[in-house]
Structures are given as structure tokens and as C-alpha cells.
Structure 1
Amino acid sequence: MQQLFSLFAVYITIFLFGMTVMRTGLINLSQDRLKITLMKMTNTPFKGLIVGTVVTAILQSSSAVIVLTVGLVAASYLTFKQSIGIILGTNIGTSFTAEIIAFNITSAVIPLLIIGVLLLMMKKHVAYCIGCVSFGLGCIFIAMQGLEKLALPISSIPTAHNFLQLTNENNLIAVGVGTILAALIQSSTATTAIAMGFMSDQVLALPAGIGIILGANIGTCFTAFLASIGSARSAKLVAFAHIWLNIIGVLVFFPFIGWLSSISESLTTIPNLQLAHAGTIFNIISSLAVLPFVGLFTKFVTKLHGKAV
């Protein structure tokens, strides 16, 4: 049992390492252009949503974009109201990452790693960055394979089996699991990957998997909250806005997990893709629903957590 959980921790570490390496390559390719884009092209909530979506899809990390946004608001480069559109966009952009890892292409792992290593040895900046992306993606797929192979052995352990059964029977517990996991490992994507690993062997039911990714949306707010500690009041409001947006989204969608599950199952028969599609649908609908009420939401957070900014 100890060996299984040690391997589980190793694969999670490989996954997070792969995400970090890939993100490093993508950030270095874009350099400071992303920060400039955030500052200059977010004057309306809709533009903020589009920019937040694109930047998050490029950086492959909603937490990184939120932390960057907190910093820009703290430095007065962005207003608190501008940050709301960006936050809504990050929730959509992070869905692209889930869609990518859902395509767990076994045959591509070795070529991705080899190409990545070869490009990393080159002196050209662009080649090095592409090498980071390729190698990081290879590590992610290796981790996904490992998590899938461990799903059945772990589920055969009585304690784990009982817990998984409880999670499958109670979506509220699934949301709690997703929240705690994402807060601990500070990655909603890694939490989604874990859920996908257990779903691939039908150890975890789709509604429970959806509950976990809903919870992961809340848990990932912990990173932004930590980044806001010691910052200006406006920066703290960004973190609170991020928390409230995700909590409200989960509360609204929780009763419709069954509906979301049915829609996802009608789109594909592949469990991993079903979960990825469910997350994408949830994030798009919840973000677009809030967009017309950004002004009201800004006033709500400001009144609840601090003076007007």
C-alpha cells in the first residue's frame, strides 16, 4: 500500500514538473508581451475575458495569470474592475489544458521527450523554448499513464475503495475532495488529471469527477489568496473576487451535475474527454453568465471586503 501511494506521489510530481517546464517554455516565448497585453487590452469586461482566456491558454495556468493580475492591480497598472473580466477568462482558458491532457496519446510520449531533449540542447532561444514545451508535454503524458495504471490497484485497497464509493454516491463529498486536493497541490489541472486517472478504469463515476473539478475551481483560489497577502487593498479584492466567482459558480451548477454529465456523455464515449468537456461547458457558461453583471459584482465584493477602489 505504501509503495502504491509513493508511486502516486511520484506521478503527481512528474505531472507538476511537466506543467512547470512547459509553462516556462511558453512564458519565455511570449516574454513581456503577455503582461503588456493584460495592461492595454482589458479596458472592458468582454476584452478582459478574451485576454484572460488567451493568456491562460498560453501559460497553461490560471493561478499564474491570477497572481500576475494581483501584482498588476497592486501596482495600479490595472483597476479592480478590469481584473474581473480577466478572472472570468482564466476559468475558460484553464479548460484548454484539461482538453489537452485528456488526449492521452501513448505513442507520442517518447517522440515528445526525444524532440524536447534535442531542442533543449540547442542555443537558439526559440528552439529551447519549444523544447521545454515538448519535454513538458511528454512528462505530462507519462504522468497521466502512471495515474491511470495506479487507479485499479489503489481502488482495491479497502480504505480507498470505501472512500471512492462514498465519493461516487455523494457529489458534495466529491466537491470537497476537489477543493482540498487543489488547495494542497495548488493546481486545478493536476486535480483534474487525478480524476481522469481514476475515471479511465471506471473507478470514479462521471458525476463524481465533475464534482471534483467543481471543487478544484474553489481550491485553486488559495494560490491567489496567498499572493494577495501583504498587498494593497485592491489586490486583496482581486483574490476575494476570484473566490466568490468560483463559489457562486459551483453553488449554481451543483444541482445540475446530472445534466452536465448527460451532455458530456452525449458528446463522447471517452471518460477523460467527457470530464474535460464537462469542465469546459461549466466554465464557459458560468463566466458568460456573470459578464453582463461585472459592475454589480464589483460593487458587491467592494462593499463586502473593503472600500471602493
Structure 2
Amino acid sequence: MYFLLSAALGIFLLLCGIFGMRHGLQNLLGSKLRKMLTTITVNPWRGLLVGIFTSALMQSSTAVSLITIGLVSANYLSFYQSLGIILGANIGTCTTVQLMTVSLPNHYIYPLLLLFIIIMILIKKVRYPAMAVSGLLSIFAGIELLSATLSNISELNTAIQYIVAGNTNPLYGIAGGILITLLLQSSSAATAVLMAFAADGKVDLLTACYVVYGNNIGSCISSLIIGAAAPLAAKRVAAAHIILNIAGAMIFLPFTNLLTALVAMLSSDFAGQIAFVHTLFNLLSSIVVMPFVRQYAKLIIFLIPGRNRDW
């Protein structure tokens, strides 16, 4: 019972941190981001940079995708222009995972969190900046609590069993990553759980790579389900996102040993290595597609035909 409550509290703090940080930044910059999306994205490469920047600020590729879908549906952007933003959002969201590798002494986290929550409540002028900082501190608190909880784990749930089975079969690791992301509705939160779990030595770096592939696929499934009943623009954007990540996982899979060797050179810390896997997967998947973005757009339009502003 203690394990369940502690794990639930850790996940709660983690999710509250991600959403709090996102909400604070959105309220600070939301209208400016929407204007920037419509005025700067004259070609996919500029769209890529805008997607990276806005997703890093909002700490959510999903939020950027939803704004983009709205702009495409309202004919402010073409589907072709939106692809650069979506590819960039995949890269920008990696900043959340990189922030999770920052080390902050445990005895500072909770007092600082309480301080910024009080500032957020009492001082309206700095409410949203304080909310963003509180969110970041809540992420640190959630990771710390999850690490302490998972180090004493005795029974594995279904998702964890899949992750551990990934030691022998990559598909199990990918399935575990998809499942955890669907449960948490956040690839960043799922990666944080993986970091906490891996810190106890339950999985090696190779298995962690498979789980990260699954995390990225799982992050698209919710939008794909929602997009099934949505307008044509939403269907195409959701399809473009999930096809990108599935294809990325298939391409990366044979080279996972090479990827682990590369991230081991980039960081000696296990959590840092997982963060680099997440970043390199999204960075390379998006950059490789960019020279062929027009052909990729044609593929999505072929798969999901219909009349809309495509170009």
C-alpha cells in the first residue's frame, strides 16, 4: 500500500510539474506564439525552427500540434507549412527530458517548491513565471520520489514486466514504452519514470533505448485516436506525427548498439544517457525527413485524401 501511494504521489508531482510549467509559459507567451506560427512559417525549415522554439517554451509537442491543427483548420497555414512545425515540436519537447537530468539537492526541492507556490498565489504580477518555476521544481520532486519508491519495488506491473522483458526482446521494451506513455499521457513523464526505474539497475541502456522508442510512438496514439473523429487537417497532422515516430523506431532499431555507444560517450550518467537517446531519436528523425518534406506531405495526402488547403 505504501509503495502504491508513494508511486502515485511521485507520478502526480511529475505530471503536475509538466502541466504547471506548460500552463505558466502558455499564459506568458500564448498569443505571441500563435502570431509567430502564422507569420514566420513561410517554408518548412523556418517552420522547423519555430516548432523547436515554441515546443521548448511550452514544454509540450502536443500543445504545439493542437495550435497548429487549429491554424491549418482555419486556413492560416497549409498542411505543407504545418509539417515543419510538427517536426520541430518533436525536437523542442526534448528540453523537458534534458531538464530532468539537472541535479538539485533533495533538501532544497520542497522548500523552494513551497516558496514559489506561495509567490504564485500571493503576487499576481509574477504568477505565471512563478507557476513555471513551481512546475519545474515539482518535476524534480516527482523524480526524486519515484526514484526512492522504485528502488524498493517488489512486484512489477504489466508495463514494467514488458520493460524488463525488453532485455531479451526489443518489441517488449517498445510495447512497455507505449503502454507507460498511454497511461501517463506524456512521453516526458514516461521517460522520467524510465530514468527512475533504470537508476535501480532493473534495465540496461540497450533496453532503455527500446522503451524510449515506445515512448515516442505512444505519445502520438492519443492524438491519432482523437484525430479519427476530427477534421481532415487534424487527421493528416496526427498521421504525419505517428508515421514519423514509427518509421524512426524501425530505422533506429538495427543501430541501437551504435546509439548506446554514442550516448555513453556523451554522458557518464545513466539518466543523462537516456535523455540523450530521447533527444537524438527525435532530432535525427525530424532532420532526416526535412529534405523530403514535400514528398512526405504528398504521402500523407495520398494516405488521407480530401479537399483542403494542402500547399
Q: Same fold (TM over 0.5)?
A: yes
**C-alpha displacement of 1:230:** 3.9
What is the match of residue 121 of structure 2? 121
Summarize the Cα distance change of 1:163–1:245 in structure 2 as closer, same or farther, 3 Å threshold: closer
2:47·2:84 contact (CA, 8 Å) conserved in 1? Answer: yes
What is the match of residue 8 of structure 1? 7
**C-alpha displacement of 1:61:** 0.8
Q: Tell me the distance in 2 between the aligned counterparts of 1:166 and 1:199.
A: 14
**C-alpha displacement of 1:112:** 3.1
Q: Which range moves more in the overlay, 76-85 or 108-117?
A: 108-117
AA of the residue aligned to 2:215: A
| Paired residues for 1:110-189 under 5 Å | 110-125=110-125, 127-154=126-153, 156-157=154-155, 164-189=163-188
**C-alpha displacement of 1:164:** 4.8
1:76 partnered with 2:72: no
AA of the residue aligned to 2:112: L
What is the match of residue 268 of structure 1? 267
Provide, for residues 60-114 of structure 1, a one-character-per-residue CA deviation record: whole Å limited to 9, x for no partner. Answer: 0111111111121112111111111111101111111100012241344135314
Structure 1 unpaired stretches of 5+: none
1:70·1:239 contact (CA, 8 Å) conserved in 2? Answer: no
What is the match of residue 99 of structure 1? 98
Provide, for residues 207-246 of structure 1, a one-character-per-residue CA deviation record: whole Å limited to 9, x for no partner. Answer: 1111111111111112322443443212211111111111
Normalised by the size of structure 1, how large is the TM-score?
Answer: 0.93
Q: Please, what is the CA RMSD of the aligned residues?
A: 1.9
The SS at the match of 1:204 is coil
1:86 partnered with 2:60: no
What is the match of residue 190 of structure 2? 191
Provide, for residues 105-151 of structure 1, a one-character-per-residue CA deviation record: whole Å limited to 9, x for no partner. Answer: 134413531441242134443x1111101211111111101111122
Q: Tell me the distance in 1 between the aligned counterparts of 2:226 and 2:27.
A: 22
| % same residue | 34
Q: Tell me the distance in 2 between the aligned counterparts of 1:171 and 1:6.
A: 31
The SS at the match of 1:77 is coil
Q: Tell me the distance in 2 between the aligned counterparts of 1:112 and 1:77.
A: 42
Q: Tell me the distance in 2 between the aligned counterparts of 1:159 and 1:75.
A: 44
Summarize the Cα distance change of 1:169–1:104 in structure 2 as closer, same or farther, 3 Å threshold: farther
What is the match of residue 223 of structure 1? 222
1:39·1:78 contact (CA, 8 Å) conserved in 2? Answer: yes
Q: Tell me the distance in 2 between the aligned counterparts of 1:307 and 1:164.
A: 40
Structure 2 unpaired stretches of 5+: none
Normalised by the size of structure 2, how large is the TM-score?
Answer: 0.92
Q: Tell me the distance in 2 between the aligned counterparts of 1:243 and 1:158.
A: 29
